[in-house]
Amino acid sequence: MRGNVGFLSVAIYSFAFLLPAIVLLCLLGTAMAEEDGFTWGGPGENVNPTEDNVCLTDQASCGCCLMQQQIHRLGTFLNLTFNALEKELIKTKTVLNNVRDSRSAFSVALTNQVSLNCLGPFRDKKLIAYKHVFINLGDSYSVDTGIFKVPRSGVYSLALTVYSDAGSPGNSLAACASLQVNGQVVAGPREQNMQDQEDSATIVVALHLSSGDIVAVNLPIGCFLCDDNSHYNTFTGFLLYATD
């Protein structure tokens, strides 16, 4: 598109530059023809009734007229082409602005503390507020509530990784969480046993979400997650493509 507009600009500039020279040549040709005893007022006017074709008797004036007609046609064509390109450019800018407005991506971690700290276990389930932000394009994720509010309907990729440390061998390990949309559980990585001191699990899903949907991670009863600035626990989502 940019190349077409540039070519059109050069063509218009060249046309405007050459137009005075063409008109001057036409005037000179007409003046020379009049000195030879020929005049011509334009198409349909037979100044010299003795000749059937004015272009045969006054070729300079006839050629100038034909050239002016071609110039007029060229100008009309350039104007139409420029208007069409301008409309396409406006459409392209509109589509690009819509794409920019719909950009949405977030990636967060549980914490950024130097020492390992654990969240949970709790007597009641609780939404997890991931505090460390890698990216929050569109500002649709809230670090205060842990909620991602879908800004635009479309297909989203969501990923959740959980990690926990039981503290010592033989202790109960419960690395688990639930990914939910509008309060309904979609999927949940879970690693619960007494054989491992530490373990992790990951899920990745693609979901069709509607504008205004609430996406969050819930910590079930009895589960606990541990993290430090190594960022073992992460929650990520981004828009693959919009559907509205």
Helix (H, G, I), strand (E, B) or coil at 156: strand
Is the sign of the CA dihedral 88, 91, 97, 101 positive or negative?
Answer: negative
Q: Is residue 231 domain-shared with residue 116, that is, in the same domain? A: yes
Same-domain check for residues 206 and 237: yes
90 and 169 fall within a common domain: no
Q: Does 42 share its domain with 112? A: no
Judgement on whether residues 164 and 183 belong to the same structural domain of the protein:
yes
Q: Are residues 237 and 120 in the same domain?
A: yes
Residue 19: domain span: 2-101
Last residue of a domain, one of 76, 101, 126: 101
DSSP 177-213: -EEEETTEEEE--EEEESS-SEEEEEEEEEEEE-TT-
The number of beta carbons lying within 10 Å of the beta carbon of residue 201 is 17
| 35 and 138 share one domain | no
Q: What is the tally of structural domains in the chain?
A: 2
Same domain? For 130 and 224 the reply is yes
Which of 57, 72, 101 is the endpoint of a domain?
101
Assess whether 109 and 82 both reside in one domain.
Answer: no
pLDDT band at 238 (very low <50, low <70, confident <90, very high): very high
| pTM listed for this prediction | 0.61
Residue range 60-96, pLDDT digits in tens: 566 677 777 778 888 888 888 888 888 888 888 777 7
Tens digit of pLDDT for each residue in 20-45?
555 555 555 555 444 444 444 444 44
**Mean of the pLDDT values across residues 204-226?**
95
Of 54, 86, 101, the one marking the end of a domain is 101
Is there a contact between 198 and 163 (Cβ–Cβ < 8 Å)?
yes
CATH number, position 113: 2.60.120.40
Q: Do 95 and 130 belong to one domain?
A: no
Same domain, 167 and 116: yes
Cα three-residue angle 140-142-143, rounded to 5 degrees:
140
Whether residue 132 is found in the same domain as residue 176: yes
